[in-house]
Structure 1
Amino acid sequence: MNAAKIPDDVEFIKIAEVRRITGLGTSTIYERMLAKEFPGQVKLGPKAVAWIKSEVQAWVKERISASRPG
């Protein structure tokens, strides 16, 4: 992603918050990431990763839209 296109208000969230927002377990999150069915994580350091909150929220909204008829 081009740095010029990244919004200034990006918020990183850790796995516990991703689990809370999605209702998914850690293993399921990583399985769906590997299958390219869930937003990828951002490496913050040698042993630290996080997700972009808006991407996780967009994923949730897509699931809601896909599960509702019409």
Structure 2
Amino acid sequence: MTNATIAPQEKRFIKLTEVIKMTGLSRATIYNYVNVAQFPQYTKVGRATFWEYNEVQNWLDEKLAQRTPKQ
């Protein structure tokens, strides 16, 4: 048996412009989704707003998994 250790994933914070590029959603839609808990929550650092990259990527993966295959 081997004792494999899993390295924790590095946190990578991204700004709204990158979230928009990743998702194709508008700024207003992203904030609307956040307000109704349908999108990952952002983090404020001073006046800057950031999202955690893996949370946004996981949200996209969930949306892809929910797709209905064409018949």
Where in structure 2 are there 5+ consecutive unaligned residues?
1-7
Aligned match of 2:3: none
RMSD: 1.2
Instruction: Give the C-alpha shift of residue 68 in structure 1.
Output: 3.6
Aligned match of 1:57: 57
Question: Which has more radius of gyration?
Answer: 2
2:19 corresponds to 1:18: yes
> What is the number of equivalent residue pairs in this alignment?
62
Calculate the TM-score normalised by the size of structure 2. Answer: 0.81
Deviation >3 Å, runs of 4+: none
Structure with more of its chain in helix, by fraction = 1
Task: Tell me the percent identity.
Answer: 39
Calculate the TM-score normalised by the size of structure 1. Answer: 0.83
Instruction: Give the C-alpha shift of residue 15 in structure 1.
Output: 0.3
Where in structure 1 are there 5+ consecutive unaligned residues?
1-6
Aligned match of 1:3: none
Q: What do the CA deviations read for 1:36-56 (whole angstroms, capped 9, x no partner)? A: 0000101111x1110000000
